[in-house]
């Protein structure tokens, strides 16, 4: 598949996955790959610090956009700021700041299920409508929460029968259900528990949110080790070499069996990103992963 066409499938891609599976890495990788393909990318972080900027050697994100790399901008979205924006946009500028600072948002947000999520999703919708970038990548909250995050607009429609916030929820639902506007890209590791949770999340998103599911990114796929027979029996470190090969063979086998299991249980295309031996992800690693990401998609 042509990579630029792939990147243009949906204007908003929500990257979701269980904590620790490399969601932020996948987001950064997709961003770099898409930017290389000529798209302008905006990364939106919705749950505090994620280490995204650290990979690019920058300070943590703020509500104001920053340039992360050529063609890649990034920002955070917090419910408080989104509420102030929202009120200002709806002619309530005068009370907006006070509403946030007096804790009324706390009360309101508590009174209305998913209010915070709606404010954030509403702002994302606004960015999408304003064509803030060719591709908006949302680094979503961790897995279980991702489902409630995306379900919040539908939940709110049940709870609130009138008012502008209801309209906001309706607009967000419309965006989430339109594959040309939004899809979810799930991220996992080739391990048993992350695979199980990914499958559960996928079904929940499809059934309860009705959002299009894009490809699954499988992070940290271990490469097959060299064959043990390639090691001459008189090699000085024979035992260590054999042990390293045996260890990697077993890990590779397990990863493959999980990848196969995922394919059996979930009929979605997979993008396999290689396991890197570095302890931390920096710009070099992201570039390597972006190469792999692009190559995987182009091979479809």
Positions that interact with other proteins (CB under 8 A):
18-21, 47-49, 51, 86-87, 90, 92, 95, 98-99, 102-104, 106-108, 110-115, 142, 144, 148, 159-166, 191-194, 196-197, 225-226, 228, 230-232, 235-237, 240-241, 243-245, 247-248, 250-251, 254, 277-280
| Structure tokens belonging to residue 237 | 């470190």
Q: How far is the CB of 106 from other proteins (least distance, A)?
A: 7
Q: How far is the CB of 266 from other proteins (least distance, A)?
A: 16
Q: In whole angstroms, what is the distance from residue 170 CA to residue 164 CA?
A: 10
Residue in 71, 70, 73, 69 with CA at minimum distance from that of residue 61: 73
Query: 67 or 106: whose CB is closer to other proteins?
Result: 106
On whether the CB atoms of residues 174 and 144 are closer than 8 A, the answer is: no
On whether the CB atoms of residues 59 and 149 are closer than 8 A, the answer is: no
C-alpha pair distances (Å), 238 with each of 73, 226, 228, 230, 243: 50, 14, 10, 11, 8
Q: How far is the CB of 285 from other proteins (least distance, A)?
A: 11
Task: Provide the 10 A C-beta neighbour count for residue 82.
Answer: 22
Q: How far is the CB of 141 from other proteins (least distance, A)?
A: 8
Query: 8 or 231: whose CB is closer to other proteins?
Result: 231
Task: Provide the 10 A C-beta neighbour count for residue 112.
Answer: 19
Query: 90 or 131: whose CB is closer to other proteins?
Result: 90
Q: How far is the CB of 250 from other proteins (least distance, A)?
A: 6
Query: 5 or 235: whose CB is closer to other proteins?
Result: 235
Q: How far is the CB of 7 from other proteins (least distance, A)?
A: 26
Query: 9 or 196: whose CB is closer to other proteins?
Result: 196
C-alpha pair distances (Å), 104 with each of 71, 85, 87, 97, 145: 38, 15, 13, 10, 24
Query: 98 or 264: whose CB is closer to other proteins?
Result: 98
Strand partners, 16: 186
Query: 99 or 297: whose CB is closer to other proteins?
Result: 99
Q: In whole angstroms, what is the distance from residue 285 CA to residue 55 CA?
A: 9
Q: What is the DSSP letter of 209?
A: I
Find all residues with CB under 8 Å of 62, minimum gap 6, and list them: 75, 76
Q: How far is the CB of 98 from other proteins (least distance, A)?
A: 7
């Amino acid at each position: 598949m042509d990579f630029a066409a792939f990147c243009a499938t949906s204007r908003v891609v929500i990257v979701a996955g269980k904590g620790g599976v490399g969601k932020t890495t996948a987001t950064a990788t997709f961003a770099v790959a898409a930017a290389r393909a000529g798209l302008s990318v905006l990364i939106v972080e919705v749950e505090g610090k994620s280490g995204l900027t650290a990979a690019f050697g920058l300070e943590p994100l703020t509500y104001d956009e920053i340039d992360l790399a050529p063609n890649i901008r990034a920002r955070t979205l917090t419910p408080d700021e989104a509420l102030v924006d929202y009120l200002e946009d709806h002619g309530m500028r005068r009370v907006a700041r006070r509403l946030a600072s007096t804790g009324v948002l706390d009360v309101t947000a508590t009174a209305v299920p998913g209010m915070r999520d709606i404010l954030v999703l509403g702002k994302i919708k606004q960015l999408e409508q304003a064509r803030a970038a060719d591709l908006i990548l949302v680094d979503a909250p961790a897995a279980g929460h991702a489902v409630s995050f995306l379900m919040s607009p539908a939940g709110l429609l049940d709870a609130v029968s009138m008012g502008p916030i209801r309209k906001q929820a309706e607009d967000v639902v419309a965006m989430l259900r339109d594959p040309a506007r939004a899809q979810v890209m799930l991220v996992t590791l080739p391990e048993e528990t992350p695979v199980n949770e990914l499958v559960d999340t996928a079904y929940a998103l499809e059934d309860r949110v009705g959002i299009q599911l894009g490809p699954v990114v499988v992070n940290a796929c271990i490469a097959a080790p060299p064959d043990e027979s390639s090691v001459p029996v008189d090699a000085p470190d024979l035992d260590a070499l054999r042990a390293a090969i045996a260890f990697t063979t077993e890990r590779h086998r397990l990863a493959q069996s999980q990848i196969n299991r995922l394919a059996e249980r979930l009929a979605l295309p997979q993008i396999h990103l290689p396991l890197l031996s570095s302890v931390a992800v920096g710009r070099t690693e992201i570039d390597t992963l972006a190469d792999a990401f692009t190559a995987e998609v182009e091979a479809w």
